[in-house]
Structure 1
Amino acid sequence: MSSGQRLDDTEVQALSDTLDDEYKSRETYAQVIRDFGDVRPFVNIVEAEARHASALLNLFEKYGVSPPANRWAGKAPRFSSVHEACVAGIQGEIENVAIYDRALKSTQRPDILAVYQALRSASQDRHLPAFQRCAQRSPERGR
């Protein structure tokens, strides 16, 4: 542990909550790819979610805290169409931003805050608009 200071329970819970949500997103988007093929924006965002989880896992390691297991493996939701998955992606990214909004209030540590802010920004500024565009263009929208 290079920090010299242990995380308090609130900080650990926030890290756990954010990692759990990144796992959920990654597993959900990977399931969409398994069900519908290499469809955008899922193929791009699934890789980003893996990077997000990795950034959070680095914080767990830095502070000597055991991360929670991925409880979403094999339990991702399934969708009847790409459009339905895109609509769910919109809601998922909105929820992800809200989780990061809460997490940003959980600590004053600059390293953790920087990761939270970067991941929140990715969800708000890149992933959410990508899913909104996807929902607008999906041909099965009317089904």
Structure 2
Amino acid sequence: MLEAKKAIVAGLIVLGIGALGGTAYALCGQSGKAEPKGTSYAVENAAQGAATSPNAHQYRAQTRATDPSQQPTTGTGQGTEAPTAPVDSAPATSQEGDVAMVAHIGALNDPDLDLAKMLTYAIQDEYIAHAEYTKILETYGTVNPFANIREAEAQHIALLTPLLEKYGVPVPDRASISAYVSVPPSLRDAALTGVQAEIDNIAMYDRFLSDPTLPADVRDAFLKLKSASTNHLAAFERAAARY
């Protein structure tokens, strides 16, 4: 009988130790240092989104100043995502490695503007806008407002070209701006790029128009171009909200 009681007590001790071990394991699992996967995944993706989400300013700066690395292949599809392709041109920089002073970049940063520079920067910006919207149409198909605004950019170039010729300013080669043209990866990003492009364009003409020595015909042209950009800005803002 005594041996039986000892066996029962031993069994109870073993069960107690097992229960305590299970409790300790459960507590350890509840208070462990590792974050729940759902939380860490959300935080990680939020951080990645903040780092990689495209915006109009980034595209405007990269496309027109430094790096055409987002350039996709051309096509006629109607989708909202652009196909990708390897980079086929080098970043556009000055000999010192700085951002190239062209188009609105030059217009807004050049400390020594004169009439020749203004006309050159202006037509470069219109060249780039026309080429960029052409690439967008080739990638996504004929969609507005890009189609309509592309035609307007052609009219802007036609307005500026005679002024450069009249004032003895060499007309820039349109092919020289190809390195500044790229296409964002979706129609919404393309619309946001258009928004920033028109904001930059308006700022450029505002700076030009602040010069009291502008010839009357040049001032008139700049006023018309600024007004057109204001209309284009509203169209791109509506498009960005729609996509």
Per the normalisation by structure 2, the TM-score is 0.51
Unaligned 5+ segments in structure 2 are: 1-112
Q: What's 2:52 paired with?
A: none
TM-align CA RMSD: 1.3
Q: Is the 8 A contact 2:134 2:150 kept in 1?
A: yes
Q: What's 1:43 paired with?
A: 147
Q: What's 1:131 paired with?
A: 236
Q: What's 2:186 paired with?
A: 81
CA distance in 1: counterparts of 2:221 and 2:146, whole angstroms: 22
Task: Give the alignment partner of residue 111 of structure 1, picking from 192, 212, 217.
Answer: 217
CA distance in 2: counterparts of 1:110 and 1:30, whole angstroms: 32
CA distance in 2: counterparts of 1:74 and 1:11, whole angstroms: 25
Per the normalisation by structure 1, the TM-score is 0.85
Q: What's 2:132 paired with?
A: 28
1:54 aligns with 2:158: yes
Q: Could you tell me which amino acid in structure 2 is paired with residue 44 of structure 1? A: N
Q: Could you tell me which amino acid in structure 2 is paired with residue 41 of structure 1? A: P
In structure 2, relative to structure 1, the CA distance for the partners of 1:13 and 1:74 (3 Å cut) is closer
Q: CA deviation at 1:130?
A: 0.4
Secondary structure of the structure 2 residue equivalent to 1:73: helix
Secondary structure of the structure 1 residue equivalent to 2:177: coil
Q: What's 2:119 paired with?
A: 15
Unaligned 5+ segments in structure 1 are: 1-8, 139-143
1:68 aligns with 2:172: yes
1:92 aligns with 2:197: yes
Structure possessing the higher relative contact order (Cα contacts under 8 Å, 6 or more residues apart): 1
The runs of at least 4 consecutive aligned structure 1 residues that moved more than 3 Å come to none
Q: CA deviation at 1:75?
A: 4.5
Q: CA deviation at 1:77?
A: 1.0
CA distance in 1: counterparts of 2:227 and 2:182, whole angstroms: 25
Aligned residues: 129
Q: Is the 8 A contact 2:192 2:240 kept in 1?
A: yes
Please identify the structure whose Cα radius of gyration is greater.
2
Q: Is the 8 A contact 1:18 1:103 kept in 2?
A: no
